[in-house]
Amino acid sequence: MLQLKELYSDLQNQTEKAIKEIENSDHSIAILLQTILREQLEMIKKLMLELSNDGAELKNMTEFLTIIYHDNEIANPTFRAWKRAVEWMSLPYLESVRNLEPLFQEIKTNLEHSAAELERIYGAKQTKYIIPSFYISTLR
């Protein structure tokens, strides 16, 4: 359980960094991305509270986990759309985009490792409807 806490703590830090990196952009796609990341951050904080309880039960974390993974599924293409807009329209956020590219990859990798750890702790049968399969299959 300790490794799971560390993984989601890292994810929290990465998400906070991403929000901070785009918070000054007033582009509509960036605003959408901020909204997604803020929801993800809120769910991570709720998940961390649940994980702080000894013997955290999966049923108490299901909603948080589902939203975290779903938000990431939405955040990635939204980020790519914002990146294209910044490049095509020569917007002044190119440095932010460059800083975010590796960060979004770190977030995805972190979620893959978290998914594998959840599966190890709770079993594939219990987690298969919570975590999208493409987060797990890369590590099997």
Domain extent listing, the chain: 2-139
DSSP structural state of residue 53: S
- Say how far residue 5 (Cα) sits from the centre of its chain: 14
Structure tokens at 128: 């298969």
Spatial distance between the Cα atoms of 83 and 87, rounded to a whole number of angstroms: 6
pLDDT tens digit at each of 140 positions of the chain = 789 999 999 999 999 999 999 999 999 999 999 999 999 999 999 999 999 988 789 999 999 999 999 999 999 999 999 999 999 999 999 999 999 999 999 999 999 999 999 999 999 999 989 998 888 765 55
Contact 22, 30 (CB under 8 A): yes
Q: How much is the CA Rg of the chain, to the nearest whole Å?
A: 16
Buried b (16+ CB within 10 A) or exposed e, 55-69: ebeeeebeebbebbb
Q: pTM (2 decimals)?
A: 0.93
Rounded to 5 degrees, what are φ and ψ at 84?
A: -60, -45
